[in-house]
Structure 1
């Protein structure tokens, strides 16, 4: 599944939110209620971590969870002691991602990928492909069907990619590509995938769960 040099320093950052009712998956609250939306956030995060752990069986990849809401102890109580937890900190999504990338490279990582937990079709194979592409390209992006992206991978900090982007809009992916082109970065796009953000997206999650049950 994975064709990577054994000595490469690969690092994966998972952005998620502590599943506190009323503060997470708010666009799904009309369909699921506050507790139901929080439970979905919980389940989708756990599902993402399961996929990451499948990848770790095939390659030496360090993983950290960058969280919003809650605190380190709540995160450990929820997801266990085997993961590294770090608060996302202040600022918009761009500044939080740029900070996490900078710190990862400072710590010795050579290739770093950030994913969220909103896209249940992000599996171990897609993550493996993204890391493999980072040997050839400066930037790897996984476009989300809503116009954002579900994955970004770099082999050095490029803070310009996270400035003057209107996060949460349908222009995020295209704006990031525009910046990459201005910076003369080589880049590759993965397969477009759908996020689960709104009530009409819930069948995507149900299909992912059904697929997992069949394995």
Structure 2
């Protein structure tokens, strides 16, 4: 039974807009090319998990040419991110997704280890909890699963810092929600992450990197 909506929070991989922290190592074109491959890998894993609808919640413009092939791909729903910081955009996506009557799992495109098997396992875990969390080694998280949205999980969080997962746990505890966590994974944010990516996921990395 398909019971969980996967919402991928995605940026268009245009030069200078996506994976900007990798520009010193890859240049604007190389960073955007890697962002494209990471996005496609994430989308493929979300579809392979086969646990429910897959939504691409995109920025900056859903009408951009890059997204049009997916508008015509039936298993995928394309939606527009709202204006605001990451917390505002995630809260809006979660609220909209939950209106369909199933729990949601919010994910990004930076964690190639968050594969179909992991997504299925997290969906099963979410069925027994109020929320689920997949932390990453830099202190953030790669997945947040919810049965309902609450602004406290997305407000006054210092995004892109090592405090994100810790503060999210604090907020979950303050809400008296029961949540579960998977073992920590790793994501691709900094130039130092590229060697690990090349070692474990060579198909994602261009040969010249």
**TM above 0.5:** yes
Task: Please point out which of 47, 52, 75 is paired with 1:53.
Answer: 47
Equivalents in 2 of 1:74, 1:144: separation in Å?
32
Deviation at 1:88, TM superposition (A): 1.1
Cα distance in 1 for residues equivalent to 2:63 and 2:14: 14
Of residues 73, 77, 82 in structure 1, which corresponds to 2:68?
A: 77
Quote the offset at 1:78 in angstroms. 5.1
Q: Which moved more, 1:62-71 or 1:38-47?
A: 62-71
User: Is 1:96 aligned to 2:102, yes or no?
Assistant: no
Normalising by structure 2, what TM-score?
Answer: 0.90
Which residue number in structure 2 is paired with residue 3 of structure 1?
none
C-alpha contact (below 8 Å) 2:82/2:88 kept by paired residues: no
Ranges in structure 1 where 5+ consecutive residues have no aligned partner: 1-5
Indicate if the aligned counterparts of 1:28 and 1:37 stay in contact, CA closer than 8 A.
yes
Q: Name the SS for the 2:53 alignment partner.
A: strand
Does the aligned pair in 1 maintain the 2:13–2:33 contact within 8 Å? yes
Instruction: Name 2:169's counterpart in structure 1.
Output: 177
CA distance in 1, matches of 2:67, 2:111: 23
CA drift of 1:74 comes to 2.1
For residues 18-37 of structure 1, the aligned pairs below 5 Å read 18-37=12-31
Alignment of 1:130-209 (within 5 A): 130-209=122-201
The answer on whether the counterparts of 1:75 and 1:85 sit within 8 Å (CA) in structure 2 is: no
CA distance in 1, matches of 2:49, 2:9: 17
TM-score between both structures, scaled by the size of structure 1: 0.88
Aligned match of 2:207: none
Q: Is the 8 A contact 1:72 1:85 kept in 2?
A: no
Q: 1:41 aligns with which of 35, 39, 62?
A: 35
CA offset digits 1:121-174 (Å, max 9, x no partner): 010111011100111111100101111110000111222211121111110100
* Equivalent of 1:63 in 54, 57, 69: 54
State the number of aligned residues. Answer: 202
Q: Residues 124 and 165 of structure 1: is their aligned pair in 2 closer, same or farther, counting only changes over 3 Å?
A: same
Tell me, yes or no, if the aligned pair for 1:120 and 1:204 is still in contact at 8 Å. no
